[in-house]
Structure 1
Amino acid sequence: MSPNVVLPFLSSLVSFAFAAAVLAQWSRRHRAFQLVWAVGLLWYGISAGTEFLGSAFGWNEALYRAWYLIGAFFVAAYLGAGTVVLLARTRFGYFVAVSFVFGALYAFAIRGRYPEDTTAFAVVLVACLVAAIAIAMATWRARSLVAPIALAVLGVGSVVAATLVLRATLDAPYALDPTTGVPVGTAIPGNIRILAGPFNIIGAFALVVGAIFSAYVFMPKQRLLGRRALPPGVAQIYGAVAVAVNFIASLPRAAVALARGELHSRVPATLLIALGGFIPGVTSGLNRFGFTWAFFLGELLGVLLIFAGFVVSTEVFGERVRLGPVVVRRREKEVSAT
């Protein structure tokens, strides 16, 4: 059987099972980030499901539109939004603001590919910069507003994206790579493709960097750069650099703690999630530029690694988690992520 059929089918199956597990957890704890993650995983499963159906039974315009809308706009964005909600009351909001700036820079970088779509470029640029400023200010002054702002931006963006994709005039009913048979976005108008980039960049950045940030919060630390009283703006930049430097410096201590069975379970769990978010982010990005051979494989590896991170967490299985010969700490104290 073709891998174009098997891989998306497995990705869809794992995603739906994963979503059910997260929804079950949400039903017990009623934490908002779990619900947002569950929605993101449902989008993941539906997106992979369209790929399975298209590969197994043939593509059509409706299936192609659903694939592009959910895969290009919703999957990474909603998974990343769950991480934003989880870490909304920490300094992670500054990283989220930076991700919106990256989204604006992406739109600026590709503007030459779609010279006729200057309005879409301007809208994306302004929206990303306004959102970046709003989230940065909220993180600085009122962190309780970070999650509502991020979810409001995502909600409005989702409605706009759905309207554009479902009403667009396509260049063809669907588009596939002639060599691999993997769907590509070339049938979608340029103004919509400009909008899709920031959704993926911001969502993937939030998911991956948020997972790394969470690992840093819960790992034993080697602080090469300590806290300093600096002017606003400079302090935020310094804080981001400090987290990155201290995270790398702390890895040896984390490895020792893991070997001793003393490492907080969220550290390996969130690092697996980071890797799981990174791999499909890369393969999806390559798909945009015509390198499609790893697209379905990246999706499957991504959801499997994120699921593995969920399983490793002691929040799922209680006090004891074994990683081969290593036992992750049984009784864990909550750590402030401020």
Structure 2
Amino acid sequence: MREPIHFIPILTTVVALSFAPVVFRRWRERRSGYHLLWWSLGIALYGVGTFTEAWTTLFGWNEFVFRSWYVAGALLGGAPLAQGTAYLLLPRRWAHAFAVALVAAVAAGATVVFLSPIDPALVEPHRLTGKVMVWQQARLFSPFINTYAFIFLVGGAALSAWRFRGQPEARHRVIGNVFIAVGALLPGIGGMATRFGHTEVLYVMEFVGLILIWIGYRYNVAGSVRGAPPVSAAAAGAAEAAAG
């Protein structure tokens, strides 16, 4: 039975489709570094995942949509965003190496997901869950990939907030990165809830998490918060690097 909470992914998809072009345009304007490109890709894939949830709510369960949901959500929900942060924090050669490893892991996981038989008895008409896959080994890929995402996305935002602490001219960086860290953490909590059959928790966490990430992004790009003193040249350079 469909309930109002099942329609939340429609809103999340709209937010993602609005947010991703904003970051992509910033990358096109700057044409420097890979982090903004990875971030825009990550937000777009986030939207793909929530689109499959919205589709299932509106039109019912579909095998291809389910498999796409698992790959876009469980395997790619936060990984591209984390990879963007890896390019921001690490030497480029290290970030390249991590990117290759990440793509290989996602490709392997996606292959297993798309090849796994489906147990029709476990399919729910308007609800998605990984339990329907006969090869439950497919679900072993996501914890490793999502741990990588947690370390770089949540950890990277927390580290940035810590670095800017105590700098009045960079308070917006602290606030923005706290928003991003919390927003990035919420979908992971929702993902864990799906393993216990509570997919609706994921729907809420995805929506709130993406809103918080966008707020954090706006704070980082804005350059100041109300009442903050002008940013010094040195702080401005560090802040611009953090914002991309």
Asked if TM exceeds 0.5, the reply is yes
In the alignment, which residue of structure 2 is the partner of 1:286?
Answer: 193
Which one of the candidate residues 162, 176, 182 is aligned to 1:269?
176
Q: Distance between the aligned counterparts of 1:65 and 1:293, measured in 2? A: 18
In the alignment, which residue of structure 1 is the partner of 2:76?
Answer: 74
In the alignment, which residue of structure 2 is the partner of 1:62?
Answer: 64
Structure 1 letter corresponding to 2:116: A
1:166 to partner: Cα distance = 1.8
Contact 1:61 1:173 in 2 (8 A): no
For these two proteins, the number of residue pairs brought into alignment is 234
Contact 1:50 1:63 in 2 (8 A): yes
Structure 2 letter corresponding to 1:267: V
Larger helix percent: 2
Matches within 5 A, 1:158-237: 158-172=106-120, 175-176=123-124, 182-188=127-133, 189-220=135-166
Contact 2:49 2:68 in 1 (8 A): yes
Structure 2 letter corresponding to 1:215: A
1:329 to partner: Cα distance = 4.4
Unpaired segments ≥5 residues, structure 2: none
In the alignment, which residue of structure 2 is the partner of 1:20?
Answer: 21
Structure 2 letter corresponding to 1:331: V
Q: Distance between the aligned counterparts of 1:26 and 1:281, measured in 2? A: 27
SS in 2 for 1:154: helix
Which one of the candidate residues 132, 142, 145 is aligned to 2:93?
145
TM-score (norm 2): 0.87
Q: Computing the radius of gyration over CA atoms, which structure comes out larger, 1 or 2?
A: 1
SS in 1 for 2:118: coil
Percent same amino acid among aligned pairs? 29
Contact 2:171 2:225 in 1 (8 A): no
Deviations 1:296-331 (A, max 9, x none): 110100000000001112x3x4x4443xxxx34442
Structure 2 letter corresponding to 1:194: L
Structure 1 letter corresponding to 2:164: F
Contact 1:182 1:292 in 2 (8 A): yes
Contact 2:170 2:224 in 1 (8 A): no
SS in 1 for 2:123: coil
Unpaired segments ≥5 residues, structure 1: 89-142, 221-253
TM-score (norm 1): 0.64
| 1:297 counterpart = 2:204 | yes
